[in-house]
Chains A and B, each alone.
Chain A
Amino acid sequence: MAIVIVDGQEIEIGDGERLNGIQAAQRAGIEIPHYCWHPGLTVVASCRMCLVETGRRDPASGAISMMPKLVPACQTPARDGTVFVTNSQQVTDARAMVEEDLLIRHPIDCPICDKAGECHLQDYHFQHGREQRRADIKPFTSRRRPLGDSVTLFVDRCVMCSRCVRFCREIPGTSELMVTNRGAHEEIDVFPGFPLANKMAGNVVDLCPVGALGDRDFLYSQRVWFMQNHDQICAGCSTGCSIHVDENQDRIYRLRPRPNPHVNQWWMCDEGRYGWKHAHDERRQTAPRRRDGEQLRVEEWGELIPQLDADLRAAGRLAAVLSPHLTVEEAWLLASYIRAIDPQAWLVPGPVPVVGQDETFGGGFTIHAEKCPNRRGVQAVVSALSDELITWEQFLERAAGEGFGAVWISGGYPAAWHGESEAEQLAAIPLRIVQDIFPSPLWEQAGYQLPGAVFAEREGSYVNFDDRLQSFRWAIRPPAGVQTEGRLFWRLAGRRGMYQADEVLLEVARRVAYFAAAVQPVPEVGVDLKVLSLA
């Protein structure tokens, strides 16, 4: 074990670990302020905010010899016997100097800046800056220019940390951004005719430690201190990026990546980042309806649920289509409910939307072609309960001939997922229960129209392309009239109280070998379901 000394505190780090001063101090619970350093990018040591004193403790004598000058902690490796001092007068003065320097030409337009409230420049100024401005220089006005369709640059707010430039070079590998001019006239810019247009461009806004890069989608829509952020999983593709959902009063304002070394590191793609708009789409269905002859009548859930249960029990042979947008828990609840009524019921995984091909970027990040979050989880549930895996296509072909009395179709796809012909193929089944977020041909002919939830309203677990199960809780409440799938299935199954996803997952983990590793509590970064199968 290597011992690193931070402000007199001895901390142990693993022998194989390659940490820098900032990371070592983090282990000791000490924050070293920094702008340019980011764990996912190369080190440039240029912002100079992380200056510390360093030295070495002689292993034999225990005597500490310090280096005479300050060093950037981001560039200084923490080895056995390395000493960091982060609270000396020299360090305090250096931080005050850098903070003062960065504010010389900064417009200090926090009241109209989106970053205010989560801005490093603000925070560090309060912690490390001077009380009084000594610079006699008129800050420039708020110049701005778009760098691409999604990002606007507020030129004078920039502190030239170059994180965004390095990101574009190192992660998507597209190198759109660059530094132009020199010295104090430096600006971030794009090459003429080559706007910032890569599929991960939105990350530069999260990376920006100040308000220089603004997300044009989020710009001026919400102050950050009004928003709650919730840990969630992106449902855009089978990568299953860990994300934060930032919402205020059940309205989503933005999604941001949540660091997860096993899935998305620090990033997410723009498709996922802006892929929440359907949650607040006007066309969303919010009223449960039951067909009464030709008429569809809006009913209260309290009356509708017993009726639905009774109709299913009277229908004879059953089938259920389990959408890959369902969580593992929801799929399990629906499958076991349907199977409890008809032990021979068909369980069919819903269609898997595939768009294009998997796209892997230079930095290793992959956007998957499979545009649903939980194909593996749902298939694993179905496989555990059925001998034969019937695909959606096979089901459509054979549905008319099997004499089903009712079929439960769960949807939840953000985009249109079937056409008239599919509706036609299922028309022979007398009772069609369709659970979806948008109207569709199947929805129009349904006997029961059950408005469903979107990803941020769900609770449960998804299994991504790599068999990693990640659990999450709801971030927003569904619109009035919508019953989330989990809650509805919970009630139909006759369980008491509120829907408890973790209770269901425990049950699944006990019953299905594939999920055995998903013991509670599932860590924030998820659990690799392969660990047990490999053992």
Chain B
Amino acid sequence: MPDVGATEPVLLALVGRPDSHTRAVYEQAGGYQALRRAVGELAPENVRELVKSSGLRGRGGAGFPTGLKWTFLPQDHPGPIYFCLNADESEPGTFNNRILMEDDPHQVLEGLILSCYATRATTAYIYMRYEYPLAWQRMQAAVDECYAAGYLGRNVLGSQFSLDVYLHRGAAAYICGEETGLIESLEGKRAWPRIKPPFPAVEGLFHKPTVVNNIETVACVKHIVDRGADWFRSIGVPPDPNNPRDPGSFGPKLYCLSGHVERPGCYEAPLGITVRQLIDQFGGGIRGGRRAKAAIPGGISMGLLTADELDCPLDFAGPGRYGCLGLGTAAVVVMDETVSMIDFLENSCQFFEHESCGQCTPCREGTSWALKMMRRIKAGRGRLIDLDLLLEIADSIGIMPGTTICGLADGAAWPIKNAIRKFRGEFEEYIRRTNPQGCHETAPVPALDLVALH
């Protein structure tokens, strides 16, 4: 891996410049040239092919190949086809979409318009997280500027292609980031993820074919159209030759580095950078010269890496090799040696208990049970057998075992699995120390008033 700190940022090129959120600054830097070229010279199929050949994978968390997703749309559909831009960025530790929307909204919009052009979508919804008021203002202002400049509305840049963009502000629910939860919420319903099939590409928003993509994904589309697929494929990690199902991890990626580092922030680096490189080259090392204890590779739902696993490459396949769920949103949260894993897990359980939509029994009850158990452990009434029970819950909920509709439960399960399996000694020590009398108890515990609180 070369010295990644030296590579020139692409997605973050304008971030930090004065008035980077305005059209004038964006166009000065060559903005909307890709759109002009695409609408003038390329057919939608060509843009689709370009994105497909670039190997772009979704930046929202699942890493699904974007070009492939677009090809699931029915051919010759009479329309309308909807495009949903997922800006409901709520994975703990993640803020790359926010940076893009606040500091370079036109880059996002150009990518969105190109993506809509490629998918023949004529209406796009930007589903924005409630907690992003500045991003909302900047995006809305950018949309208005685009309408004024003829980049949006009827006959974009004088072509046959028309596009309307609407901003929709969510009501602060994590589950709205799940693509079918987002669609339900846009339709004005409770954000209960839908059962699939049918997939959104076939029947999504308002029963029409729908594409749901992440903010960073469409920003990448802009640069792919600008610089070509070969440029994109020159960055990142090629497919693993031993794994025929690995499409590789290409392109630049925004990494959100937070936690106990000297310089937390959003950094752009090629896919495949290791956690250690990220901490040392961008983050300025662990804060206060302390040692790292653990790191979350890509948002809390992806699990945990121990200090020994910090050489894990942050590409789509890397964290999986270390027992994590995946790359997720590439939000790296670093914990130093002062962090108690009991606190970490209790916090994680609390998040997922709060955000479980409550539709599927295993997730609704499993997340709430796990939290209550963690609170009891933390309160000094844990038993060693609880750890096995927590692992059993974590192993049995989620899409992976097939017991839930969406992936939220997998996200809830991974921190439990990783924390207890990788730090079991610390959990056992804590339980023995805080509950010396009862730690070996295995009979059902009498109900505690403490844990009945909700």
Contacts and interface: CB of A to CB of B under 8 A. Distances in A.
Does A pair with B? yes
A48 B367 contact: no
A134 B372 CA distance: 13
Nearest to A184: B368
Interface in A166-214: 178-179, 181-186
Interface stretch (B155-163, B301-309, B317-325, B357-365): B357-365
Given A184-B353, A184-B356, A159 B444 contact: no
A228 B294 CA distance: 64
Given A101-B361, A134-B389, A137-B369, A183 B452 contact: no
Contacts of A48: 360-362, 403-404
B447 A159 contact: no
A75 B451 CA distance: 36
Contact of B402 (A71, A105, A132, A133): A71
B1 interface: no
Contacts of B373: 136
A97 interface: yes
B362 A139 contact: no
A179 B404 contact: no
B361 A184 contact: no
B396 A69 contact: no
B366 interface: yes
A178 B454 CA distance: 21
Contacts of B169: none
B364 A160 contact: yes
B405 A138 contact: no
A93 B365 CA distance: 16
B3 interface: no
A132 B444 CA distance: 8
Interface in A88-130: 93-94, 97-98, 101-102, 104-105
Nearest to A68: B402
Given A138-B448, A138-B452, A160-B364, A184 B358 contact: yes
Interface stretch (A39-47, A215-223, A430-438): A39-47
B189 to A, nearest CB: 10
B358 A183 contact: yes
Given A70-B402, A132-B444, A184-B353, A101 B366 contact: yes
B401 interface: yes
B354 A183 contact: yes
Contacts of A46: 192, 359-361, 405
Given A46-B360, A101-B362, A136-B448, A184 B367 contact: yes
Contacts of A186: 358, 364
Contact of B359 (A44, A75, A105): A44
Contacts of A139: 447
A51 interface: yes
Nearest to A141: B452
Contact-residue bracket for chain B: 35 or more
A97 B396 contact: yes
Contact of B369 (A45, A49, A104): A104
Interface string B120-155: 000000000000000000000000000000000000
A51 B402 contact: yes
B345 interface: no
A138 B451 contact: yes
Interface in A37-78: 43-49, 51, 69-72, 75
B365 A102 contact: yes
Contact of B362 (A69, A97, A132, A140): A97
B444 A134 contact: yes
Contacts of A134: 389, 444
A130 to B, nearest CB: 11
B195 interface: yes
A45 B195 contact: yes
B447 A138 contact: yes
A44 B401 CA distance: 18
B173 interface: yes
A314 interface: no
Interface string B174-218: 000000000000000010100100000000000000000000000
A298 interface: no
A512 interface: no
A53 B404 CA distance: 14
Contacts of A136: 372-373, 376, 444-448, 451
A135 interface: yes
B403 A51 contact: yes
Interface string A140-155: 1000000000000000
A184 B403 contact: no
Contacts of B355: 182-183
B268 to A, nearest CB: 35
Contacts of A101: 361-362, 364-366, 369
Chain B CB within 10 Å — which of A49, A135, A181 has the most?
A135
Contact of A44 (B195, B367, B372, B452): B195
Interface in B365-418: 365-369, 372-373, 376, 389, 396, 399-405
A85 B440 CA distance: 39
A139 B355 CA distance: 22
B449 interface: yes
B198 to A, nearest CB: 12
Given A94-B403, A136-B376, A137-B372, 4 more contacts: A102-B365, A137-B369, A160-B361, A183-B353
25 contacts: A46-B361, A94-B401, A101-B362, A101-B365, A101-B369, A104-B365, A104-B368, A134-B389, A135-B369, A135-B444, A136-B444, A137-B372, A137-B447, A137-B452, A138-B451, A160-B359, A179-B358, A182-B173, A183-B353, A183-B364, A183-B368, A184-B356, A184-B364, A184-B454, A185-B358
Q: What 3 A-B pairs have minimum CB-CB distances, sorted nearest first?
A: A138-B447, A69-B402, A184-B368
